[in-house]
Amino acid sequence: MLVILGCVNSVLFGIQLDSLSNQAKKDSLIELGIRMYSEGRYAESIKSFLSVGNDTSKPALRFYLGMSYSGLNDFQKARKYLQQAVKIDSMNVSYRFQLGRLLSQYGMIQDGLREYETIIQIDSTYTSAFFHLGLIYNELRAYDRSRLLFEKVIKMNPRDFLSYYYLGTAFVALGNQDSARIFLTVCLTLNPSFVQAISVLASLHYLKKEFDEAFRLYSTAFKNHPQNADFAFRAGLCNKQLGNYSKAIVYFRGAIEVDPSNALYFAQLGYAYYHEKRFDSSTIAYQKALSLDRENPSYYINQALAFQSMDSTDRAINSFKGAIVAFRPKEIANVYLQIGGIYFQEKDYHNALSAFQKSFNYDPLNRELYFWLGSTYDRLARVQLAIIHYKKFLEVTLNDRTEHDRRDLIKTRLQLLGKKQ
């Protein structure tokens, strides 16, 4: 009997040892999988976890399996295992948080919201849940709710520069620029190199016409991110607004050096050259802009003005004509009006008349044309037509006090023309 009991105890002890050995092996595989996950070796970590078997009693195994699949962008399996981990240990906010991030990252916004809101109910001090809720509401354009969430995060963590940034952008969206500037400034106090905050704050100063401060911020952003052409371009725009055209040229050229495919950069460079009276450089810059964007009529117009300043009449007129292709009827009328003005200035009254008549065909309600048509007919000694257009100009400007000088001039001419008749 004693022999039999001894044999039974030996068998039970052996089974217990085997059980302990198996458990130790499983624990070792799980630890190996976690280490591989932390090293970013996701496929190997999955292999290690799956070799443990379907041990649903260990939520950590499910969690790290889910996170490993997430690392491989396998959304379906990542969600499956993270949901299993949350089901086994529903009070674990870390598991639930990663599930919420996964769901919201892959577009399941409402499901992500529910996970974050559940976390807050479990632990009202879990700042990451408040932060990510704020991000979601910001994305949903629910800016007032987003603002409240980021304010809570800042109360719990006053040095969270990202929350100051998102709080600032929420105030921008809500139309409260003064509050936005305060929080964006705090963000930059905590992280002076955070370029997104620099860019938004600079744009707010630019809108307030505080161009010196806007320039300081944009130039700082460009210094920190010299591969970003837009920062250089906007620094140039600030100098353009300040009338510092030579400095504007430096930044516009800096933007072009980074991105030579942007027509607007060349156009603004041409504008700055024009105001520096470097007309030849201006026309070259506008020509480059036109080579990149031939459908922008303003580039033709500005190039024409630069040619006109160089007394290059033919090239100015050709540039004006180039604009006609891209303009709408009313704008075409204005181009022909300017062409007529050039010819009139050159005392080429026949071509001036042709241009004014074309302008009239596109915009017969433009009162400027009555003055110029009358003046041109007058120079061509076509008295009757000059009188008709002069009288029409007086009629349409009857109550316009700004036209006092031209009205007096026309009245004098009408008296002289009347005598000729």
The pLDDT tens digits for 160-214 are: 999 999 999 999 999 999 999 999 999 999 999 899 999 999 999 999 999 999 9
% of the chain at pLDDT higher than 90: 61
Q: Average pLDDT for residues 106-122, to the nearest whole number?
A: 93
- Residue 175 has a pLDDT of 92
- Give the model's pLDDT for residue 241: 96
Q: Is the pLDDT of residue 20 over 70?
A: no
pTM over 0.75: no
Question: Tell me: the pLDDT tens digits for 311-334?
Answer: 888 888 888 777 666 666 677 788
Tell me what the pLDDT averaged over the chain comes to: 88
pLDDT at residue 254 tops 50: yes
Contact 386, 374 (CB under 8 A): yes
Least confident among 81-85, 246-250, 293-297: 293-297
Residue-wise pLDDT tens digits, 21-32: 667 777 788 888
Q: CB of 243 within 8 A of CB of 216? A: no
Tell me the mean pLDDT in the region 323-351.
82
Predicted local confidence at residue 421, as pLDDT: 62
pLDDT of residue 18 exceeding 80, the answer is no
Q: In which band, very low, low, confident or very high, does the pLDDT at 268 lie, cut at 50, 70 and 90?
A: very high
pLDDT at 154: 96
- 136 pLDDT higher than 60: yes
Read off the pLDDT of each residue in 249-271 and give the average, rounded to a whole number.
Answer: 96
What local confidence, expressed as pLDDT, does residue 4 receive? 52
Domains and CATH numbers, the chain: 30-124 (1.25.40.10)
Q: What is the pLDDT of residue 320?
A: 77
Question: Is it the case that residue 6 has pLDDT exceeding 70?
Answer: no
Give me the pLDDT at residue 58, please.
82
Which three-class secondary structure string do you get for the chain? CHHHHHHHHHHHHHHHHHHHHHHHHHHHHHHHHHHHHHCCCHHHHHHHHHCCCCCCCCHHHHHHHHHHHHHCCCHHHHHHHHHHHHHHCCCCHHHHHHHHHHHHHCCCHHHHHHHHHHHHHHCCCCHHHHHHHHHHHHHCCCHHHHHHHHHHHHHHCCCCHHHHHHHHHHHHHCCCHHHHHHHHHHHHHHCCCCHHHHHHHHHHHHHCCCHHHHHHHHHHHHHHCCCCHHHHHHHHHHHHHHCCHHHHHHHHHHHHHHCCCCHHHHHHHHHHHHHCCCHHHHHHHHHHHHHHCCCCHHHHHHHHHHHHHCCCHHHHHHHHHHHHHHCCHHHHHHHHHHHHHHHHHCCCHHHHHHHHHHHHHHCCCCHHHHHHHHHHHHHCCCHHHHHHHHHHHHHHCCCCHHHHHHHHHHHHHHHHHHHHC
Label residue 288 by pLDDT band (50, 70, 90).
Answer: very high
Give the pLDDT confidence score for residue 8 in this predicted structure: 47
Query: How does residue 54 score in pLDDT terms, banded at 50, 70 and 90?
Result: low
Query: Would you state the pLDDT for residue 404?
Result: 87
Phi-psi region of 363 (alpha: psi -120 to 50; beta: other; left: phi over 0): beta
What pLDDT, in 10s, does the model give residues 89-101?
999 999 999 999 9
Stretch among 233-242, 330-339, 399-408 having the lowest mean pLDDT: 330-339
